[in-house]
A = this chain, B = another copy of it.
C-alpha cells in the first residue's frame, strides 16, 4: 500500500499515523520528494481500511498494490480450482451446461424439463424454488416443495441440481441440493455469505447488478474465509443505461477473472439478455471468451406459453445450441495458445 502525503504534513499527525501503522505490524518505507512524501507500507495490509487512511487530513491519496482478497486470489493459488459436483466437474477445462426452467411449478413440469435438458446435452439441472420477486404480489415460488420436486428430478435423471437460497433460515432445505446459488441481489448479504462459508456445499455466487470485480471477489472471499473454498463465480449482466437488453452482459469479466482468480466462471445469458433470441449468440460468445460453463433457462411446455419467461429457450433450440457450444469449446481447446 502506498500512502501519498500532502505537502508539509502536520508532524504530530504524521507521528500518530506511523505509530498506529506499526501497531498493526506494518513496516514503513518513507520516500521524500520535492512535491510530496510517500509512505510505502509493507506487511499484511488486507486489514487496513483504505477509506480510513484517505480520511486523514495529512493524506493526499492512498493506493493499494496488494489486492484485499487472498483466498480467491490467483497470485496465491496459481492452479485453477476444479469443483466436483456429482459425476461432473466444474472448471479445469470442462464445459458445464446448467439448464432448466426459471421456476419449479409442478412435478410434471420439472420432470419433463429435466428429461428434456438431459437429452439435449445439459450436465446439471437448474430451477427456482425460492424466488426473489420485485413485487410482493408476485408468485414467490413453491419454496420447500419446489426443492422436493427438484430432488425427484435429480433422482430420475441423475442430473445434479442447482437452486437459489434467499435467507440463512432456509439452509436446512438444501441438504440434497448439489450447488447452492446466491442471487445477484444477495451478493452483499454478508450474514448469508458467512453462514454459507460454514457449509461444505459448492456455492454459485452471482455478481450483483452494480458490483465491481473487486467487490465480487470480496464476496467470494467472505465464503472462503469461513472455510468453504468451493465457490463458482457467475456473471449475469450489469445495470447500465441501455434498455434494449435487460442487463448488459460484461463478457470481459471472463478473461479478467481468469487473471485475478482461480475460481471457475459461469455465464448466465438468459437473465443478462432478457430476450430468448439473444441467448444463443451470448452463449457462444461466453464459451469463446473462456467461460467454464453456462446456466441457461429452458422451458418445455409449449402448450401453456404463459409459464415461460421471456428469456427461455425451448428444448430443441437448446439442443442445437449445446452442439454448437461443444464445437466451439473443442476448437478453442485444440488451437495454439494466443498469449
On A, residues with C-beta under 8 Å from B are 2, 4, 13, 16-17, 20, 27, 29, 31, 33-36, 38, 40, 42, 46-47, 49, 51-52, 54-57, 60-61, 63, 65-66, 68, 132-139, 166-169, 185-186, 188-194, 208-210, 212-215, 218, 221-222, 225-226, 238-245, 248-252, 254-256, 258-259, 272-274, 276-278, 280-282, 284-290, 305-306, 308-312, 317, 320-321, 323-324, 327-328, 331-332, 335-339
Contact = CB atoms under 8 A, between A and B. Distances in A.
B288 A55 contact: no
B36 A65 contact: yes
B256 A245 contact: yes
A50 to B, nearest CB: 10
Given A42-B34, A244-B212, A335 B324 contact: yes
A197 to B, nearest CB: 8
B309 A51 contact: yes
B33 A29 contact: yes
A321 B255 CA distance: 15
Given A2-B2, A65-B35, A65-B61, A306 B242 contact: no
A190 B210 contact: no
B335 A317 contact: no
Contact of A255 (B222, B248, B282, B323): B282
Query: Interface centre among A17, A138, A168, by most B CB within 10 Å?
Result: A138
